[in-house]
Amino acid sequence: MQFSKKIRTFAVRKLTNLMKEGYLDFDAYIRQGEPDKCEKASIWRTAIGLQAVDGLQTSEYLRETAIKHIEGEIDIDEARQLIQAYYQSKTHRETTDDDMQEADQVSANITKILSSNTLDFSAKGYISLHRRIFAGVFKHAGKVRDYDISKKEWILNGDTVHYLNWEDLHRALDYDIEQERRFSYKGLNTDQLIQHITRFVSDIWQIHAFGEGNTRTTAVFAILYLRDLGYKVENDMFAQHSWYFRNALVRANYRNAVEGIDYAPEYLERFFRNLLLGEQWDLRNRYLHIHPSEEWRVQPNLSPSVKTVEKTVEKTTRTVEKILKILSNTPSITVREMSEILGLSRRGVEEQIKSLKQKGVIRRIGPDKGGHWEVMS
């Protein structure tokens, strides 16, 4: 759809204003019905959202550049070059510029990485991922630390997770990733699968192979790996809940026997249950504090009841079966005619048709008018 220059300027200004808070108006792209723009916007939102794990915010220039990329005016490499040139050309540096430059360049680097489906699932690949994410930002990008570290955490009342000692970093990365490579998910039920993914991601993060950027590297690695396993990962989870993701990793790797606190992987499991299963756990950080107030002791699952879900699934399954039967018997039928037969809204039928097409169950032969449906065997 072609917009006038005036309308386009208004749309870009509106998007830019929304992104001042770290958000893109993804609904605007979805309404336009352009999957490429929607995917780009989702990836940018994730890349920008992940900066929150280190308390960083991106600049307005980055957000304007992201819009240009989403709109197809520039490619991702041109976007990265523009951002780099922007900071190189600045004659006056503000006190916030260093942090903002890191957030901008890392966001662009992550966007480039997540725009590809390639993954080197090895210790070398993990280290290389850190190099690619922080290229042009850290001098130590892609270099494993050679010193021990600790970090005070507010959810631990100032205590720290015990990270792996630097002498064993390479060995631990090699071991954990090789063990995962050999692991078979065959035969696991849903709970077991989530628990295993949680444990693997948690263990990789606890190694803390780098001086900085461990959570962002782990998040990008996890997204790529889950895609490799066949999951359609909704990037918005990492965009909206990156700080929760980091704090959940902290709780999964912390225990204090004196205070009666054990490892608590369930918080990270709930993040992955939302991400992979569409559950609706309330992912607010106050639930993760080792000494929460009474109000925050029990983390609620806001998902519909199991019975409600089962009824919805059963109803949807019956509808799909009816649609496939209708299309098999009457290939030239229209969506409007199907909606009348099924007693559903036209939009509801269109959503089911769209889902079936994406899954390769049906396909459209010919144009909307004069064409027909084919049910794949």
* Among 263, 322, 325, CA closest to 290: 263
Q: Which residue has the higher pLDDT, 358 or 312?
A: 358
Assigned CATH topology for domain 306-375: Arc Repressor Mutant, subunit A (1.10.10)
Helices 214-228 and 97-114 sit at what angle, rounded to 10 degrees? 10
The single residue listed with the structure tokens 């107030």 is 293
Q: What tens digit of pLDDT does each residue of 281-297 get?
A: 999 999 999 999 999 99
pLDDT, residue 161, reads 97
- The lowest-confidence range among 69-73, 109-113, 253-257, 342-346 is 342-346
- Evaluate if residue 200 carries a pLDDT over 80: yes
Q: What tens digit of pLDDT does each residue of 35-77 get?
A: 788 889 889 989 999 998 888 999 999 989 998 999 999 999 9
Start-to-end CA distance of the chain, whole Å, equals 35
Over residues 148-171, mean pLDDT: 96
Query: Which three-class secondary structure state does DSSP give residue 261?
Result: strand
Six token digits for residue 73: 């005016």
Q: Which residue has the higher pLDDT, 107 or 6?
A: 107
Strand partners, 14: none
Any residues with CB less than 8 A from the CB of 284 and at least 6 apart, and which? Answer: 244, 296
> DSSP characters for 15-79?
HHHHHTTT---HHHHHHHT-HHHHHHHHHHHHHHHGGGGGT----HHHHHHHHHHHTTSS-HHHH
Band of residue 2 on the pLDDT scale cut at 50, 70, 90: very low
**E strand segments, the chain:** 362-365, 372-375
Q: Is the dihedral of CA 270, 276, 277, 278 positive or negative?
A: positive
- Evaluate if residue 170 carries a pLDDT over 90: yes
Rounded-to-integer distance, Cα 90 and Cα 38, Å: 32
CATH class of the structural domain 117-303? mainly alpha
Query: Which three-class secondary structure state does DSSP give residue 117?
Result: coil
pLDDT, residue 3, reads 44
The single residue listed with the structure tokens 């280290």 is 127
- The lowest-confidence range among 159-163, 288-292, 312-316, 367-371 is 312-316
Over residues 167-193, mean pLDDT: 96
> DSSP characters for 352-372?
HHHHHHHTTSEEEES-TTT-E
What's the burial of 31, exposed, middle or buried (CB within 10 Å: 0-12/13-18/19+)? exposed
Find how far residue 29's CA is from the centre of its chain: 18
The single residue listed with the structure tokens 């295993």 is 196
The single residue listed with the structure tokens 């699934």 is 313
pLDDT, residue 35, reads 76
Six token digits for residue 196: 């295993």
pLDDT, residue 16, reads 40
Q: What tens digit of pLDDT does each residue of 7-20 get?
A: 444 444 444 444 44
The single residue listed with the structure tokens 């989530």 is 194
Angle at 242 between CA 21 and CA 46, to 5 degrees: 65
Q: What tens digit of pLDDT does each residue of 325-376 get?
A: 888 888 888 888 888 888 878 777 888 888 888 788 898 888 777 788 888 8
pLDDT, residue 29, reads 53
What's the burial of 28, exposed, middle or buried (CB within 10 Å: 0-12/13-18/19+)? middle
pLDDT, residue 232, reads 83
Rounded-to-integer distance, Cα 105 and Cα 376, Å: 45
The single residue listed with the structure tokens 């106050």 is 286
Q: For the stretch 322-340, what's the b/e string if a residue is b when 16 or more beta carbons lie within 10 angstroms of its beta carbon?
A: ebbebbeeeeeeeeeebbe
pLDDT, residue 133, reads 98
- Evaluate if residue 106 carries a pLDDT over 90: yes
**E strand segments, 106-233:** none
pLDDT, residue 176, reads 98
